[in-house]
Amino acid sequence: MRITIFKPTDQYVGHFEIETAAQLPEKLKKFLASQPPLPAYSYVEGYSVSNLSAHSQIWTLVSIDPLVIQDGRVAKPKEGSPQTRVEAVAPSTPLIMRYAGAYKVGQLYVSVGDVAGKIGKVVGILTILIGILFCASDSRFLSLLIMGPLFWLLIWWAGLMTKAIGQMMMAQLDCAVNTSPFLSNEQRAEIMSIK
């Protein structure tokens, strides 16, 4: 699992690797000993990828000395008020950029699929027209009357499959964005272009 540490201001501090979440306190103490002092309420993001699934978790360093780690993101309490858990936090810019870039790739696939379908239509119609125009003078052009619709169908089908891949990619991204613990509802809506 890759562990990344951020200050409460979302400024990147560093990262290290652990095998299990149980190793976090020990490895975190070693990491913090090698760093300048961190402010309380810094947070830790854990991210692991195995086979076809990804898992992420977040912890807050409520206190540095002694080390107190709490699940989730916890906001620094105001004077005289108890600690409050934050439902969603402002993610680091790379996270939003990663999702935005992935959506652009999905939209590119959809656009390429649309263009391929239109090109297929034009190639098919031109092939049929050439066959009609020249088949009166040479019977070899008669085969173009059969090949025109085949070209149209094959290129249209390739475009349709490309478009389907783009739509599936965007649907998977919608699931990833919707379940991300690092995004607020407003950020999710903005990333998925719902707003």
- What pLDDT score was predicted for residue 178? 85
One domain for residues 103 and 31: no
**Co-location of 134 and 72 in the same domain:** no
pLDDT, residue 64, reads: 79
Same domain for 26 and 45, yes or no, is yes
Query: Over the range 158-192, which residues count as b (16 or more CB within 10 Å of their CB) and which as e?
Result: bbeebbeebeebbeebbeebeebebbeeebbeebe
Boundary residue ending a domain (58, 86, 114): 86
pLDDT, residue 162, reads: 95
Residues 102 and 182 in one domain: yes
Q: Contact, 109 vs 162, CB < 8 A?
A: yes
Joined tokens for residue 148: 């025109």
Q: Same structural domain for residues 74 and 14?
A: yes
3-class SS of residue 26: helix
Look at the pTM and tell me if it is higher than 0.85. no
Beta strands in the chain (DSSP E): 2-6, 12-17, 42-50, 53-63, 68-71, 74-75, 84-85
| CA distances to 23, 131, 173 from 139, in Å | 79, 9, 53
Spatial distance between the Cα atoms of 65 and 132, rounded to a whole number of angstroms: 85
Give the per-residue pLDDT at 168: 95
Q: Verify that 22 and 75 share a domain, yes or no.
A: yes
Q: Are 179 and 100 in the same domain?
A: yes
**Residue 71 in 3-state DSSP?**
strand
* CA nearest to 56, candidates 3, 132, 130, 116: 3
Closest to 22 in 3D by CA, of 1, 40, 48 = 1
Domain that holds residue 130: 94-191
Q: What is the pLDDT along the chain (195 residues), one digit of tens a residue?
A: 888 888 888 788 888 888 887 888 888 888 888 888 888 888 788 877 665 556 677 888 888 778 888 877 777 776 655 554 444 444 456 777 788 888 899 999 999 999 999 999 998 899 888 888 888 787 777 788 888 889 889 999 999 999 999 999 999 998 888 888 777 777 777 787 754
Number of domains in the chain: 2
**Same domain, yes or no: 77 and 159:** no
Look at residue 112 in the predicted model and tell me its pLDDT: 95
Which one of 24, 55, 86 terminates a domain? 86
Query: Where is the domain boundary, 51, 86, 121?
Result: 86
* Residues 114 and 157 reside in one and the same domain: yes
Residues 25, 53, single domain; the answer is yes
pLDDT at res. 179: 85
Quote the tokens at residue 43.
């947070």
Q: Tell me: do 77 and 162 sit in the same domain.
A: no
Question: Do residues 126 and 187 share a domain?
Answer: yes
Given this model, what pLDDT does residue 79 score? 62
